[in-house]
Amino acid sequence: MPIIGIDLGTTNSLAAVWKEGRSQLIPNAFGEYLTPSVVSVDADGSILVGKAARERLISHPEQSAASFKRAMGTDQRFVLVDKAFTPEELSALVLRRLKEDAEAFLGQPVTEAVVSVPAYFNDAQRAATKRAGMLAGLTVDRLINEPSAAALACYDPAQGDASFLVYDFGGGTLDVSVVDCFENVVNILAVSGDNALGGNDFDMAIAHMYCQKNQIDFHALNKEKQAILLRQAEQCKRTLSESPVAMMVLELDGLKGSMALTGQQLIEQAQTLFSRMRTPLLRALKDSGISLSELQAVVPVGGSCKMPVVRQYLNHLLGQKLANPGSPDTVVALGAGMYAAMKARENSLREMVLTDICPFTLGVGVHNPADEENLLMSPIIERNSALPTSKIESYYTVSDNQTQLKIQVFQGEALYCKENQKLGELNLPVPPAPAGKEGASVRFTYDINGILEVEATSLSTHQTISTVLVGKGSGLTEAQAKERLQELEKLKIHPREQEENRLLLAKGERLWEEALGEQREQIAQVVQMFAQALASQEQGRIARTRAKVAEMLNRLEEGLSLDELGEEDYEGEEGEME
């Protein structure tokens, strides 16, 4: 049975599978590779996933959820109508849709997947991702760091040894990794990143620029208006990838106004975002020990690397030409598909080896003589250690006649433990003795699946205690997991075959919201026409009407979008601006 690779993205998700000697992307019900990571509940309580759900983000924001990847591993709940979902349940719905698409593509059941995660995901986030797989009916034994997957997909052993920097800039996360490739071995030397920085932040920056220009108070807008504004801002950002000036014009009450935007203006306004883009890059390079001159290429990955201002900035910083690995959207999924095949021990990939690293520091809290309440972080496994790894350190008592050593385990880069994430603790009994006489050796073993085993052995009695830690947010018992699985299964999910119909209806509703007056009436008529065809349940009539309605809505949408007008307006001014 094939194992599929999945790129579970903040904005879009994709799946790939090894077929005919290469990793191939799996199309969804629309024949597209990108499935928006959006879930929505419609009027009759059924669940929509993907493109149709994304359309409803605008028209029904209270019933739709997006960007839930950012909340993975937290206790956050997303309330859709009257049901609260965890981020992993929402992710499970996306994964389940990808599993169905893969089954339709391959013509056989799919029960196992390798899922990619940002390198900076902590244990809780990784555990939540695995549980999402389980809830979707997929065994997820292996996770792969997104930049590692990108590196796998980019490396061509025939071209000889290479070191490159993978700059993976998506909708919600940035991952930078330095990768060394030689003789079929893909060796991740260092990773760094920011899991709260992405293209969404540029949308927000553009939306704020628009508000400033048109004297609108962003925070006073209701959720729906904010969503419309952000969608227009994203559209403006995308236009800026195609042309030197993008125009943003809104006619809606409360949002009325216009703005012309150039890349240079965006750079000036979004200075903080650019400096945040720089920090992880410098840290990854420094940690890897590779100098700029040794780097062969910089590989842009993720939708946000399509922005010319981002690419210009990278060229400016690194002084080298960006490599072109095909579409920055698909490279992680292709790598995950390749890794899935390696896991399945695909013959043609037998020679390939992927080594990975621990992307964060793991350590224990130790006594701080200057401030007893404020434990200091004592690293045992330093970030960027190659995996699997096992390291040992000794620790001693700090007071006379201490009867136990409290070993508190933390993850993170801060000097003070309270600023790092606590993963768990162990209490090892020690015989009473003067301070510093008794102690323990503490061994940390961290494997490629992100499981940390902690073992503490008394130096005098040799008593050993150990525990396996997967961090906060992972505490589901098997019974609870089963219960959650059953609950998810009870949800009414729209069959993928009807997705196209749902999408058109949702698109019609969204356009109606965005339009005014006469255009609104036209849209309502078109939607009504399609609703009647659906009510007839005659497949032939539905298909014919669908094609007609799709075309009409596209035309109406073009009428609504003022991008073209914007470009024409700016042809004249371009010279002046330069």
Rule CB under 6 A: which residues touch ligand AMP? 9-12, 170-171, 198-200, 234, 237-238, 241, 302-304, 306-307, 329
CB of 274 or CB of 396, closer to ligand AMP = 274
We find the least distance from the C-beta atom of residue 47 to ligand AMP, in angstroms, to be: 22
We find the least distance from the C-beta atom of residue 144 to ligand AMP, in angstroms, to be: 16
Report the distance separating Cα 237 and Cα 331, nearest Å. 22
Q: Are 174 and 277 in contact (CB under 8 A)?
A: yes
Report the distance separating Cα 341 and Cα 438, nearest Å. 50
Q: End-to-end CA distance of the chain, in Å? A: 58
CB of 241 or CB of 390, closer to ligand AMP = 241
Q: Are 44 and 5 in contact (CB under 8 A)?
A: no
Question: Which residue, 79, 42, 66, 62, is CA-closest to 494?
Answer: 42
Q: Which two tokens stand for residue 376?
A: 């200091």
**Which DSSP helix (H) or strand (E) runs through 269?**
helix 263-269
CB of 304 or CB of 384, closer to ligand AMP = 304
We find the least distance from the C-beta atom of residue 209 to ligand AMP, in angstroms, to be: 16
Report the distance separating Cα 454 and Cα 131, nearest Å. 22
Report the distance separating Cα 438 and Cα 434, nearest Å. 8
We find the least distance from the C-beta atom of residue 301 to ligand AMP, in angstroms, to be: 8
CB of 12 or CB of 63, closer to ligand AMP = 12
Q: Which residues of 82-111 are buried (b: 16+ CB within 10 A; e: fewer)?
A: eeebbbbbbbbbbbbbbbbbbbebeeeebe
By DSSP bridging, strand 404-411 and strand 376-381 are: unpaired
Specify whether the backbone of 301 is left (phi greater than 0), alpha (psi in -120 to 50) or beta: beta
Which positions ≥6 away from 66 have C-beta within 8 Å? Answer: 11, 36, 37, 38, 54, 57
We find the least distance from the C-beta atom of residue 519 to ligand AMP, in angstroms, to be: 26
CB of 67 or CB of 74, closer to ligand AMP = 67
Report the distance separating Cα 128 and Cα 540, nearest Å. 44
**Which DSSP helix (H) or strand (E) runs through 162?**
strand 162-169
We find the least distance from the C-beta atom of residue 385 to ligand AMP, in angstroms, to be: 28
Burial tier of 265 (Cβ tally within 10 Å: 0-12, 13-18, 19+): middle
CB of 198 or CB of 325, closer to ligand AMP = 198
We find the least distance from the C-beta atom of residue 300 to ligand AMP, in angstroms, to be: 11
We find the least distance from the C-beta atom of residue 322 to ligand AMP, in angstroms, to be: 15
We find the least distance from the C-beta atom of residue 389 to ligand AMP, in angstroms, to be: 30
The percent helix, strand, coil of the chain (3-state, each to 5) is: 45, 30, 30
CB of 302 or CB of 359, closer to ligand AMP = 302
Q: Phi/psi of residue 102, each to 5°?
A: -65, -40
Report the distance separating Cα 381 and Cα 364, nearest Å. 10
We find the least distance from the C-beta atom of residue 303 to ligand AMP, in angstroms, to be: 2
Q: Which residues of 296-308 are buried (b: 16+ CB within 10 A; e: fewer)?
A: ebbbbbbbbbbbe
We find the least distance from the C-beta atom of residue 13 to ligand AMP, in angstroms, to be: 8
Q: Are 176 and 192 in contact (CB under 8 A)?
A: yes
We find the least distance from the C-beta atom of residue 128 to ligand AMP, in angstroms, to be: 18
Report the distance separating Cα 167 and Cα 519, nearest Å. 43
CB of 119 or CB of 526, closer to ligand AMP = 119
We find the least distance from the C-beta atom of residue 336 to ligand AMP, in angstroms, to be: 13
Q: How far is CA 336 from CA 234, 362, 423, 575, in A?
A: 28, 26, 28, 46
We find the least distance from the C-beta atom of residue 2 to ligand AMP, in angstroms, to be: 24
DSSP secondary structure string for all residues of 541-572: HHHHHHHHHHHHHHHHHHHH--HHHHHHHHHH
CB of 9 or CB of 473, closer to ligand AMP = 9
256-259 CB contacts, 8 Å cutoff, 24+ apart: 256/214, 257/210, 257/213, 257/214, 257/216, 258/214, 259/209, 259/210, 259/213, 259/214
We find the least distance from the C-beta atom of residue 52 to ligand AMP, in angstroms, to be: 18
CB of 11 or CB of 23, closer to ligand AMP = 11
Report the distance separating Cα 320 and Cα 140, nearest Å. 38
Q: Are 5 and 335 in contact (CB under 8 A)?
A: yes
